[in-house]
């Protein structure tokens, strides 16, 4: 994901990976857009605008929901590793100058 050419490609591929990894969060994030899509009524021009906005809201909501679930999962994993001592190995005091191993 990080070796993509542009920012838009990074967001697109990162969002796709997050949605595939956290599908429940992606569906929950898309629910407001679905509700708006089902509630679109009125003149044709207003209905089309509401449908376009609902589609954008569904896509954006699913990406945001999936990224939020990924961030929460990452935070939980970091806390578990911190308690197990993995982070303590990184905080070793520096060795004296003459004793390099």
pLDDT at position 29: 85
- Percent of the chain at pLDDT > 90 equals 0
On average, the pLDDT of the chain sits at: 77
pLDDT at position 46: 84
Q: What is the mean pLDDT of residues 46-68?
A: 86
pLDDT at position 90: 53
Q: What is the mean pLDDT of residues 75-100?
A: 61
SS (H, E, C) 24-87: HHHHHHHHHHHHHHHHCCCCHHHHHHHHHHHHHHHHHHHHHHHHHHHHHHHHHHHHHHHHHCCC
pLDDT per position as a tens digit, 67-86: 888 888 888 887 766 655 55
Q: What is the mean pLDDT of residues 16-44?
A: 84
pLDDT at position 89: 52
């Amino acid at each position: 994901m990080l070796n993509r050419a542009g920012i838009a490609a990074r967001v697109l591929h990162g969002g796709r990976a997050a949605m595939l990894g956290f599908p429940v969060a992606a569906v929950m994030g898309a629910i407001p857009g679905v509700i708006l899509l089902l509630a679109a009524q009125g003149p044709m021009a207003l209905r089309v605008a509401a449908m376009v906005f609902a589609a954008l809201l569904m896509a954006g909501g699913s990406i945001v929901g999936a990224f939020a679930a990924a961030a929460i999962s990452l935070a939980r994993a970091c806390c578990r590793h911190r308690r197990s001592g993995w982070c303590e190995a990184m905080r070793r005091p520096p060795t004296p100058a003459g004793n390099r191993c």
